[in-house]
Amino acid sequence: MTLPGIRASGRYLVEAGTNKTFHYVGIDAFALFKRWLMQNGPAALVEPWLAEVRGLATAGGYDGPIVLRVFRHAAPWNAFHLLPTAYRLSDGTMPALRAFVEFCGERGFYVDLTSGDAQEFFTSQSAIQQHVNECCAALVDLPNIFFQTCNEPFKNGIDVTVVKPPQWGSLNPLLRDSG
């Protein structure tokens, strides 16, 4: 399934190219990327869950796009604990993150990536910025992505006026969530 890119138009989100209003219908899937990274995760832990969510939506009369809110890192006290280094290769690339987002997109889901507990993993604003840049580089041309610099930045030591995702360009502009 090919999902259209989404862009901001004033106060609204619209499908790129059609200007059809996009309604953000989302579900918390905080641990889904962590599940993806587990042995047999895509087949055993992600695919069945996506099918169940889609089935429930269809049974409820909704057949539109669904946005999955997924953490890309969180501290050990969370059930969805995930280290930011768990999927970053030594060269700074993140092919597992990209593969996960592509997999979800192929099944008709948008992914809203956020981060939690940044103060536990990063020692400076520049370290956080580097992680944001690496994530964005992995996702740059995917149409099914929303990106949140950080969940609750006031708690997580992030100044969102300093740490900003890079601009992806006019063909696929970055949709940045508020924290």
Instruction: Indicate whether this model's pTM tops 0.85.
Output: yes
User: For 94-132, b where at least 16 C-beta lie within 10 A, e where not — what string?
Assistant: bebbbebbebbbebbbbbbbbbbbbebbbeeeeebbebb
Q: Does residue 75 carry a pLDDT above 80?
A: yes
pLDDT tens, position by position, 85-129: 999 999 999 999 999 999 999 999 999 998 888 888 888 888 888
Confidence tier at 167 by pLDDT (50, 70, 90): low
Question: Crossing angle for the helix pair 95-106 and 125-139, nearest 10 degrees?
Answer: 50
pLDDT score at 178: 59
Q: State residue 112 phi and psi, 5-degree precision.
A: -110, 100
Predicted local confidence at residue 171, as pLDDT: 44
Partnered with residue 70 across adjacent β-strands are 113
In the DSSP assignment, the letter for residue 85 is G
Confidence (pLDDT) at 83: 93
Q: What DSSP string runs through 95-125?
A: HHHHHHHHHHHHTTEEEEEE---GGGT-SSH
- Unique residue bearing structure tokens 């948008």: 110
CA neighbor of 103 nearest in space, from 177, 173, 37, 26 = 37
Q: What is the pLDDT of residue 2?
A: 78
Distance CA 4, CA 90 (A): 32
- Alpha carbons 105 and 7: distance in angstroms, whole number: 16
Phi, psi dihedral angles at 125 (to 5 degrees)? -60, -35
For the ranges 16-20, 138-142, 147-151, the lowest mean pLDDT is seen at 147-151
